[in-house]
Structure 1
Amino acid sequence: LLAHGAAVTAELEPLHLALARSPAGPPRRLFGPEHGYYGVEQDMVASAGGRDPWTGVPLCSLYGDDEGSLRPSPDAFDGLDLLLVDLQDVGSRYYTYAATALWAAEAALAAGVEAWILDRPNPLGGRRVEGNLPLPGHESFVGAFRLPVRHGLTLGELARLEARRRGWDVAGLEVVAMEGWQRWMTWADAGRPWLAPSPNMPTHGTAVVYPGMCLLEATTVSEGRGTTRPFHLVGAPGIDGRRLAEDLNARRLPGVRFLPAFFRPQFQKHAGALCGGVEVVVTEPAAYPSYRAGVELLAALRRLEPERFAWRSEPYEFVADRPAIDLLSGGPTLRRILDAGADETDLAAWVAGWRADEEAFLDQRRAALLYPEDAG
C-alpha cells in the first residue's frame, strides 16, 4: 500500500488499519511519499523507513536522501502481487504525490505486479486548466509530466493519460473510480472533511492558492511556511506590504484581493524575523486565476523589491544544475522575462501564450477522462 495520512475510508479510518481488519489481513508492505507515510516531515526532508507501530508492517520510504530514492528499488515488490495506491493530490503540477504514485505503479507493472489506483477528487475541480506546458528537458520531481500547472485531472485520470503516453502494458493497471464525483465539483462540493495531505496544505483554501504561490519556493521571499497561513502569506524583512498590495490590486485580477501584512515565520525562510508582505485573500474561487496570480506576484516583487528578491540558488528537489524557478515554471522563459526587466506587455504576451498549451492539453486528456466533461 502506497498511501499517507489522508488515505482514509468513508468512516474516516486509516486505510491500512481498515485493511488489517479485513479478511485479507494487513498489507505486506507500506510505502510512504514525500513527508512520510504519516505526513510529519517538512518539504525536502528525507523520510525514514521502519515498521508501522500499529500493525508491525514494514514501511519503505519513497523520499530519501537522493534522487534514486524517489522510485522503488527493483526488489521492493518481491513477494507481492498487488500495489494499492491511495494518495490525495491537490491538482497542481508541482505536487509530488502524482510522480510518486505513477513511478511506483510503473515499477510495479515492470515487476509483474498489478497496480490499482484508488481515485480521489481533484480539490480544484475537473474543468479548469491553467498554465503553460513544461518545455522538453525540464522534467523533474516537481514537473514529471507534460501538464499545465493546474491540470483538472484526478490522480486516476492522470495515470490513464500517462499510461497511454508511455505505452504501458495496462493489463495490470486498474483505476478504481469514484462514485458521485463530477467535474464541476470542488472540494467544498464533494462534502468530505479536509485532511491535510501534507504539513503545509492545512486547508482546501491552501490548495486553491498553491498553483501560483508555490512559485515563491524558487525565491528568497517566504511563501509563509512556518506560519499558520502557508502560501497565503508572502513576504520578507523590509518589504513594503502596502505598496506591494496596492500594485497587485491595481491589476484587478478576478476573485482575489491582496492585503498588506506582517508575519514572523517560526521556521524555514526568515525564521524569527518580522516579514512585510501581503496576504492572498481569495474572494471568488471559481474566478480566481491561481497560477497567473503567482506570476504577477513574482513580477511585482522583482520590480518593486529588487534588493530583497532573488532566485533560489540552492539545489531544489535533488536538482542542482537548473534554477528552481525553471523547474516550477517549466522552463527558463518566465525567469528571463523577469530578469530582463520586461514590461507588463511582455509578461502579458507570455500569459496569453498559455491558451494554446491549455487547448492542446484539453484535447489530449479527453480520452483519459473517467468523469464526463458535460455532467453537472
Structure 2
Amino acid sequence: MAKVAVGLEVLAKDINLQKQFMGNVALLCHNASIDSSCHHASYVFKSIFGHRFKKLFGPQHGFSTDAQDNMIETDHSIHPYFNIPIYSLYSETRVPTDEMLEGIDHFFVDLQDIGCRMYTYVYTLTLLLEKCATKDIEVIILDRPNPINGNTLEGNILDTEFASFIGRHPMPVRHGLTIGELGLLHQKLWARAAANVRVIHMKAWEREMYFTDTGLPWALPSPNIARAESCLVFPSTVMFEGTHLSEGRGTTQPLEIVGYPKIEPFSLFSNHLEKTISNSGLKGFAIRPILFLPTFHKFKDEVCGGFQIHVTDRETFQPWRTGQLLLRELFCHMEADFKWLEPPYEYIHHLEPIDILNGTHRLRHWVEKRGTLEELEAMEQLEAYKEQQRSIALY
C-alpha cells in the first residue's frame, strides 16, 4: 500500500498549485502539522511563500502543543526564528479578530484531528470559516487522515442544546470524517454564510485506513495523545473528564486508563467486571486491572486503582459503548464515592460537564439508572448522518 501524502505534502510538491496563492498567507497549525519527513508546516510554508508568509495561529493546547487540559489558555507570541506573530485561538478569543486577519489573503489550516466529536480542532476550523465568510479571505484546508478510519460511526448525535467548544455541531462521537470533509459538511449544513473554502486532498488515503496504515509518522496533536493508538481508545475514556475519576493524565498512558484511589481493581475485575463484559457481547478489547500514580492533574501523587483498555481487534472494538459500559459499572460499584464533576466545564456554568461531553443529559440518566446496552444503542440514530457523510465524502 502506498504511503499517504497529506495535504501539506501535496502543496509542497506542486508548484502550479502554489502559484494559485499569490497573496499574503497565514497558517493555523500545531505540533502534529508535519510531512512524511517530519518537517514542520511552518518551515515548509517559509520555503514556499517566503516573505508572504505573514502570520501563524495555534488552536487549543497552543502552537507548541504544550498546554494541558481544557480551560488552560495560551498567550500570543512571536515566532523566535521566523519573527512573525503567533496568535492563539484558545486565548481571550476562539475566533480570529479583524486585527489578526488584517492583510491576509489566504488562510491555510493544517491540523491533525483524532476522529472524535469531543476534540476541539474541528471547531476552531468551523469558527474560522464563519469569520472568514465575512471577509475576502480564502480558507484552504490541508487535509489529514482520520486516524480511526473514515467509515466507522458510533455514538449519539449531539443535541445542540448542549453545544459547546467540545461539540458545536450535530454529529456522532466517532464522526468518520477527515478535517477537510468536516469543513465541507459545516459549509453544507451548519454555516449561515458561505466561506471561500477549498480542500487540498490527500493522495493514497482510503476510508478504511487507520493511522498506522498510512505509513506516516505520528506526532502528538495534543499533550495526552502521544500514540496513534490512543485515538481509538479516546472515545471510551474522554467522558471520564466529566467525573472525579482520573482519566490517566499525569501518567504515561493518558486517556487509555481510568481509576480512583479507593478502587481495588483486581477484585472488582475478577468478581464482577470480567463477567459483565463477557455478557455484554462487546468485543475487540481487553480490560486489565492496574495501579497507577499520577504525577499531576487529578490525584497527583496518590495511587489509583483502575483499568487499562487494550484494543485487541480494532475492527470489532466499539469504544463509545465500551466506555459507557465501564462508566455505568463504576458508578454502580463506587456508590457514594462516585461523583460527577461540577461546572464550569469549557467555560459553561449552567450545564453538567458530563452532559456537555456526551452532548445530551440522556446518557448520564442511563448510567444512573443502570440502563441496558439495548437502550444505549437506541440513542445512536445514525442513518440521517450517514447520508450527510456520504454527500460530502472526498475519498
The CA deviation at 1:115 is 0.3
2:98 & 2:274 partners in 1: Cα distance? Answer: 52
- Which of these residues, 357, 372, 377, is aligned with residue 352 of structure 1? 377
Amino acid at match of 1:53: P
Partner of 1:248: 273
Query: What CA deviation, in whole Å up to 9, does each residue of 1:107-127 have, x standing for no partner?
Result: 123222110000000000011
Name which of structure 1's ranges 260-269 and 359-368 shifts more when overlaid on structure 2.
359-368
The CA deviation at 1:26 is 5.6
Gap change, CA 1:78 and 1:308, over 3 Å in 2: same
What is the number of equivalent residue pairs in this alignment? 363
The CA deviation at 1:285 is 1.3
Amino acid at match of 1:276: G
Residues 265-284 of structure 1: matches in 2 within 5 Å?
Answer: 265-284=294-313
Instruction: Say which SS state the counterpart of residue 199 (structure 2) adopts.
Output: strand
Task: Find out whether 1:178 has 2:202 as its counterpart.
Answer: yes
1:244 & 1:131 partners in 2: Cα distance? Answer: 27
Instruction: Say which SS state the counterpart of residue 29 (structure 1) adopts.
Output: strand
Partner of 2:17: none
Partner of 2:21: none
The CA deviation at 1:86 is 0.3
The 4+ residue runs of structure 1 with deviation greater than 6 A are: none
Query: What CA deviation, in whole Å up to 9, does each residue of 1:64-103 have, x standing for no partner?
Result: 25xxx11112332111111100000000000000101121
- Which of these residues, 169, 177, 190, is aligned with residue 145 of structure 1? 169
Partner of 1:70: 94
1:154 & 1:197 partners in 2: Cα distance? Answer: 15
Amino acid at match of 1:315: P
Query: What CA deviation, in whole Å up to 9, does each residue of 1:35-76 have, x standing for no partner?
Result: 0001011012110101011101101111125xxx11112332
Amino acid at match of 2:152: R
Amino acid at match of 2:333: L
Is the CA contact (8 Å cut-off) linking 1:19 and 1:25 kept in structure 2?
A: no
Is the CA contact (8 Å cut-off) linking 1:95 and 1:142 kept in structure 2?
A: yes
Partner of 1:302: 331
The CA deviation at 1:17 is 1.4
The CA deviation at 1:301 is 0.8
Query: What CA deviation, in whole Å up to 9, does each residue of 1:315-356 have, x standing for no partner?
Result: 1111111011101111110112223xx24xx3323322144x
Instruction: Say which SS state the counterpart of residue 204 (structure 1) adopts.
Output: coil
Amino acid at match of 1:88: Q
Partner of 1:34: 60
The CA deviation at 1:219 is 0.3
Name which of structure 1's ranges 359-368 and 295-304 shifts more when overlaid on structure 2.
359-368
Partner of 2:362: 333
Partner of 1:260: 289
The CA deviation at 1:23 is 4.6
Residues 193-212 of structure 1: matches in 2 within 5 Å?
Answer: 193-212=217-236
Partner of 1:125: 149
Q: TM-score, normalised by structure 2?
A: 0.89
Instruction: Say which SS state the counterpart of residue 142 (structure 1) adopts.
Output: coil
Partner of 1:214: 238
Is the CA contact (8 Å cut-off) linking 2:153 and 2:176 kept in structure 1?
A: yes
Please list every run of 5 or more consecutive structure 1 residues that lacks an aligned counterpart in the other structure.
Answer: 372-376
Amino acid at match of 1:204: A
2:52 & 2:31 partners in 1: Cα distance? Answer: 16
Is the CA contact (8 Å cut-off) linking 2:366 and 2:376 kept in structure 1?
A: no
Task: Find out whether 1:6 has 2:32 as its counterpart.
Answer: yes
Instruction: Say which SS state the counterpart of residue 101 (structure 1) adopts.
Output: helix
Gap change, CA 1:183 and 1:230, over 3 Å in 2: same
Is the CA contact (8 Å cut-off) linking 1:244 and 1:277 kept in structure 2?
A: no
Please list every run of 5 or more consecutive structure 2 residues that lacks an aligned counterpart in the other structure.
Answer: 1-26
2:80 & 2:41 partners in 1: Cα distance? Answer: 15
1:62 & 1:266 partners in 2: Cα distance? Answer: 28
